[in-house]
Structure 1
């Protein structure tokens, strides 16, 4: 009974957070605020906030799509009648979205829901540790809104819900997030699992704030203040000094047991069945199902691919390009990384598509595939998370145990290398990048520049949800590339959804929309 009452209160509070009522107003006739406080358990609120990470980040049509489908790493071509969805996927690739684009609008709402869930924890007398974790989750959500839309709706805990949230501009939001993360580091624990907000997660997100600060202020002509770059370097050194991280076998970072075998993952979302501690629902299968063919094991939805120009950035020896993976290839025949050429099952039998043609993934790719004999096989496929094949009842399905990765150590090292390069310390940057490349069995370099570094970030972090942000910071996002023509500077920001403009008068549409 107590749990049901808490759920009812949470549901009402959540609904109020997205509209214009207050908790007191909704419940005032039957329940005082003091009674509500006595019923609501902060740990349950915090779990809800952690669970709020799933939809905006793990779901394939939310922020991941906005970061990767708009960039040079991922594409969802229309295949005959499949994957048309009224052209929403093509709009992302061609950068011709509107304020009513479904996935842009849904993502904006879902991230603001996460922000509310995290902020709501702070209204019910959390401990210092609980408050710090909630503030980290809120900062992560705010950072994402800042990155995508350049203005951040914000309401302090306890503010009346009768008024529309205030809106921070890019500079205000950046300053606020930096202040929040700096303040909570001391309260966050360091010796906790990666799926719990921790000191090094806050440091890594702070690094992203300082690295992108100039890009958030001026996306067409980013600047990089030397003091900000020094902060990036110092934060990276603090993460390294914690002694908790080292470079791991690449695909182990994303495997079903990555919580146990990865030494790189700094912040993740816990997935899989049967967890009684902080955990999420599960949608990590959305990061292999959309790309795999219907007749592969596990079966997929036959959609996502990458472009051949991106695939060609990898050397043949680079382990990040993929290959056999224990526990997957031996059980299903499926390899990880980039899939090109003939596909087989565990017995080595050649797979076929639904028309009986050999399932040979090709380099050729169009945004709209119409040839019925080839449309199921065009495009190089990508498997970043090795499917969880450990449970015959759920293998490859949505009860997979792979924890979803937000922040990891290789990214920290590459951010440090970038900060060094942007402050004329190319030699030190080269040492870091060559160490990563050596671990990935790629050739070492004799020199480094920004063009080589952005390509290296692509090789290391592909399909992890950072590519659009990186391309903007490096001044590459507006350039034409395979399947995308010349561009408009307005696309450096997403439009504020029409429905959100209607309910929050403090939001202003971004230029050009």
Structure 2
């Protein structure tokens, strides 16, 4: 499916959920044009349904809510000059955020815009003559269910609406869970099986159903002292994960980091993803978000550097060192991948441009890379690029090495540019027109490893089947054969499974729901002591509350805000 932006917005009419959500859609094109085929027009209607996903999954927005709110990621006020942003990232990490947080507002608005576009497509596609309309109708309805899953997970509510002119009904708890389930079940028969990860497929619907059932205990009773995981729900998790695994359509990747390469659209481990291919003007910014401003991943782009954003907490790092004891955690190929051994040479080195690739994973200590002077990269006598130890030259701090430390917190020392171990999980684009702001690696929403680990969790929660859970976890670990795979585990428990999910899915925007489900979100970690259970959901943005004030009692703020 091509991402057409001619666009279908003429058919969309007014693309707002209702007057209470303050979502004014920009119409990009007022007409379809008379020369479009039925197929092109039909594709033009479904494209906007997916088009908000890249914005939701931007390096801030949803990432901030799902990662910086956890023990995994922290973003201090760098050097007292960068990432201050009125303290929003400090508050998000410390669980002192409120209803005016812009990342919360942006995520809310973008999700509801996506839902609004899905409703428009649901109402328009039945009038289209092309044979693909039936499949696209199922996708649009399924995407409405997915956007509803996001609002339920993040905000504890779901908007139910079948026509853009209606005022949405707001549901919560069991009713919201049942609604999303029924919608996914209704569309599953009409979804395709081999449309690629950028569209909703049968496999994606099965995976979303498994995720929904796994979190059902949380969604039914958000502030419970202890969540109830019903055996029948866990049976459903096992049923849908079995469907995916037995379908034979997906395959665990032997090279862990290839899952996040710039050409990962065809990686067989991906089930559902944000399509970010360069030809679709993808703008995955995950690659530059964490690394140093003096790390330049692409010889072709001397302005494409990092931004010294979030790092992992020492708490999360210590979960790795605790697991591997006397061994360095880099024995686990998910932790780190060294691409060019020359990076650690004590002397300067020379590397051909097409051979230069940054190390991936969790980056520690002194960093090596391309040296930039006066806006251009320094070259060796043979024309290759000079690679040497990096200092913070771009910050006018040549005295400060790009030497990432374990220590990172909100103190002056812990907020320096070089504090905290960094994450380079997604690869920089090799062919985008920017190199920094445009990345063409699809952002993972669901992949096969998660299917195995969800099944493992369901086995543990249903009947304490540690042996079955252990087998599933070890299947994933053993699959990473491009290098020496991590050693097989010999026992399994919920705590070990939580740790394993951290190792497998760090930086993939699932940490917050994992922490909530495993009862760890109220714990204490670096710069966070707040144990208020009300923080398990985010506040409804104040702009939405204000916009709904003309309907008394319509949009009630979440407890604790």
Q: Report the alpha carbon displacement of residue 394 of structure 1 after superposing the two structures with TM.
A: 3.5
CA contact (8 A) 1:297 1:333 kept: no
3-state SS of 2:50 partner = helix
How far apart, in 1, do the equivalents of 2:250 and 2:40 lie?
37
Residue 27 of structure 1 corresponds to none
Alignment of 1:376 onto 2:417: yes
Residue 201 of structure 2 corresponds to 198
How far apart, in 2, do the equivalents of 1:20 and 1:481 lie?
37
How far apart, in 2, do the equivalents of 1:380 and 1:407 lie?
26
3-state SS of 1:309 partner = helix
| Equivalent position to 1:484, from 505, 508, 528 | 528
CA contact (8 A) 1:67 1:465 kept: yes
Tell me whether 4-13 or 406-415 shows the greater mean CA deviation.
4-13
Instruction: List gaps (5 residues or longer) in structure 1.
Output: 22-29, 32-37, 276-280
Residue 389 of structure 2 corresponds to 350
Q: Report the alpha carbon displacement of residue 273 of structure 1 after superposing the two structures with TM.
A: 2.8
1:99-498 superposed matches below 5 A:
99-126=99-126, 127-157=133-163, 160-161=165-166, 164-219=167-222, 220=224, 221-248=226-253, 249-260=255-266, 262-275=267-280, 281-284=281-284, 286-298=285-297, 299-314=305-320, 315=324, 316=329, 317-325=331-339, 331-332=355-356, 334-345=358-369, 347-354=386-393, 355-356=397-398, 357-369=400-412, 375-388=416-429, 390-391=430-431, 394=433, 396-423=435-462, 424-440=464-480, 441-498=485-542
Q: Report the alpha carbon displacement of residue 312 of structure 1 after superposing the two structures with TM.
A: 2.7
Residue 35 of structure 1 corresponds to none
How far apart, in 2, do the equivalents of 1:76 and 1:20 lie?
32
How far apart, in 2, do the equivalents of 1:124 and 1:46 lie?
10
Q: Report the alpha carbon displacement of residue 73 of structure 1 after superposing the two structures with TM.
A: 1.0
How far apart, in 2, do the equivalents of 1:471 and 1:342 lie?
32
Distance change in 2, residues 1:186/1:498 (3 Å): same
Alignment of 1:512 onto 2:560: yes
Q: Report the alpha carbon displacement of residue 68 of structure 1 after superposing the two structures with TM.
A: 0.4
1:74-89 superposed matches below 5 A:
74-79=73-78, 80-89=80-89
How far apart, in 2, do the equivalents of 1:52 and 1:447 lie?
42
CA contact (8 A) 1:477 1:492 kept: yes
How far apart, in 2, do the equivalents of 1:429 and 1:241 lie?
17
Q: Report the alpha carbon displacement of residue 20 of structure 1 after superposing the two structures with TM.
A: 7.3
How far apart, in 2, do the equivalents of 1:437 and 1:202 lie?
25
How far apart, in 2, do the equivalents of 1:4 and 1:246 lie?
33
Q: Report the alpha carbon displacement of residue 138 of structure 1 after superposing the two structures with TM.
A: 1.1
Tell me whether 330-339 or 193-202 shows the greater mean CA deviation.
330-339
Distance change in 2, residues 1:185/1:351 (3 Å): same
How far apart, in 2, do the equivalents of 1:251 and 1:325 lie?
11
Residue by residue, what CA displacement relative to the aligned partner does 1:7-34 show, whole Å, maximum 9, x if unpaired?
Answer: 66367522x545379xxxxxxxx99xxx
3-state SS of 1:125 partner = helix
3-state SS of 1:224 partner = coil
3-state SS of 2:150 partner = helix
Tell me whether 313-322 or 4-13 shows the greater mean CA deviation.
4-13
How far apart, in 1, do the equivalents of 2:259 and 2:6 lie?
40
3-state SS of 1:468 partner = helix
Residue 382 of structure 2 corresponds to none
CA contact (8 A) 1:153 1:507 kept: no
How far apart, in 1, do the equivalents of 2:296 and 2:289 lie?
13
Distance change in 2, residues 1:500/1:335 (3 Å): same
How far apart, in 1, do the equivalents of 2:444 and 2:39 lie?
34
Distance change in 2, residues 1:61/1:11 (3 Å): farther
RMSD, aligned CA? 2.6
Q: Report the alpha carbon displacement of residue 87 of structure 1 after superposing the two structures with TM.
A: 0.2
Q: Report the alpha carbon displacement of residue 153 of structure 1 after superposing the two structures with TM.
A: 2.1
Distance change in 2, residues 1:370/1:427 (3 Å): closer
Residue by residue, what CA displacement relative to the aligned partner does 1:261-306 show, whole Å, maximum 9, x if unpaired?
Answer: x22100112223334xxxxx4221x212121111111301112111
How far apart, in 1, do the equivalents of 2:93 and 2:445 lie?
23
How far apart, in 2, do the equivalents of 1:81 and 1:461 lie?
31
Number of residue pairs matched?
A: 481
